[in-house]
Each structure stands twice: as C-alpha cells, then as structure tokens.
Amino acid sequence: MDRSPALLLLLALGLSEYGHGSIEMKIRSRNDISQLRVGQRLELECQTDRESGAFWMHQDKSGILHFIVFISSMSRTTFSRNHNRFEAGKDNKIYRLVVKSFTTQDEGKYFCLMNVNQMLHFSPGQPVFLPVTTTVAPTTSRPTPKQDRTEDPSLRTPDPERTQEELNFFCHIFIWVPLAGACLLLLIALLITIVLCRRKAHHNLIKTPSRCSS
C-alpha cells in the first residue's frame, strides 16, 4: 500500500465534496475478528450519516498510515496500486472494504476518513490482529516422593560448629591436663621437701642436748 504521496493526491481529489454539520462514523466487522485466520476474507463496514465519499486507511503495526481506497459519493472507487488485494463499495451511507486474503502485513488498525467542510474527520480505529497462538509447555513428571527411612548416624554431615567445639575441647585437654599434672608434681615435691626438712630439724634438735651434757 502506498504512503503519503498517494494519500495527499486522493485527499486533494476529495476536497470538492463537502458536508454540513457534525459527522458520525462507526466501523464494524461483518465477520468475527477474534477468529480471523491467514487467508481468510475480512469485511469491514463504515457506517456514516453522509454520502459525501470516504477514504479507507490502514495503520500498520509500526504506526505508519497507508491509503487503501477512496469511495466517492457516486460509488466510484480509486485504489492504491496494489488494489488486487482489496474490494470496496458503497451502499447508501455505508462504505465497505474487503481484504480478500488476510495476511500478517494486513494487521493493524483500519480507519474511515471523510473530508467535510475542508476538514478531515477520522472514525475510531478498528484493530484487526491475528489471534495469538500460545505454545503449550511440555508436561514434566513430578519427582517421586522419597520414602521415610532411618538415617545412619555415621553418614550424617558433621556440624561445623560442633566439630569446632570438639577441637577446642581436645585442645584444652592437651594444654591443661599436662599443666595440671606438672602443678600436682610440684605440690607433691614441695610437700615432700617440707616433711623432710621438718624431720631433719627435729632430729637435730634431739641430738643437741646430748652433746651439752657430756
């Protein structure tokens, strides 16, 4: 479909037709758009309150407007160069547009445009899109629940904190036990020394008077 050059040319052709008062334009589809498929025939109708001629425009998914056809008040049609894909006509105040074989490039919004009192009037856009196909995710089998069984204590993973406490405990044993043993030996040696000294002192005290008496 041609873009702005053809659009401007055909808009200029429509300047000679005038309307009066407010304009009512409404677009509806003669087939179920929600069930549209590639290759299917799409039929749109633009219901108006005037017979002054109308344009059909297409806004593609990228937002670019394309001219399709101009339908005059005498039911004459002026298409763009790729007119073989479309049909158009007029029945009283209803302007029809037919897409013979719908494709993905025909997706977008369709507008009915009228030139009245040198002012362009757009109808509300009619969105036409192919249904979105959803891909079904493959079903995954659920994991088999594990049976309850008694866990072997020897296979358990050791607790790091508990292991560190045990190591500290053994370290304390290796440090304090020898130290306590050494202290005990020193205490025993001290007691033995005190006992021996007291015996020697007592023995010397007994021998001293005997020397004096002789």
Please, what's the largest Cα pairwise distance for the chain? Answer: 173
pTM exceeds 0.75:
no
Average pLDDT per block of 10 residues along the chain, 214 residues long: 47 43 83 91 94 93 94 93 88 94 96 88 93 72 61 55 60 62 77 82 67 45
**What does the pLDDT look like over 97-114, one tens digit per residue?**
999 999 999 999 999 999
- Of 57, 48, 49, 53, residue with least CA distance to 18: 53
Tokens of 161: 């904190």
Q: What is the pLDDT of residue 19?
A: 41
Residue 212 lies in a domain: no
- 55 and 65 in contact (C-beta within 8 Å)? no
Same domain flag for 183 and 93: no
Q: Yes or no: say if 38 and 83 are a contact pair by the CB < 8 Å rule.
A: no
Q: Do 37 and 115 belong together in one domain?
A: yes
Is residue 59 in some structural domain? yes
> Final residue of a domain: which of 107, 128, 149?
128
Full residue range of the structural domain in which residue 182 is found: 163-205
Tell me the Ramachandran region of residue 143: left when phi exceeds 0, alpha when psi lies from -120 to 50, beta otherwise. beta
Residues 82 and 175 in one domain: no
Q: Please report whether residue 141 resides in a domain.
A: no
Number of domains within the chain: 2
d(CA 187, CA 180): 10
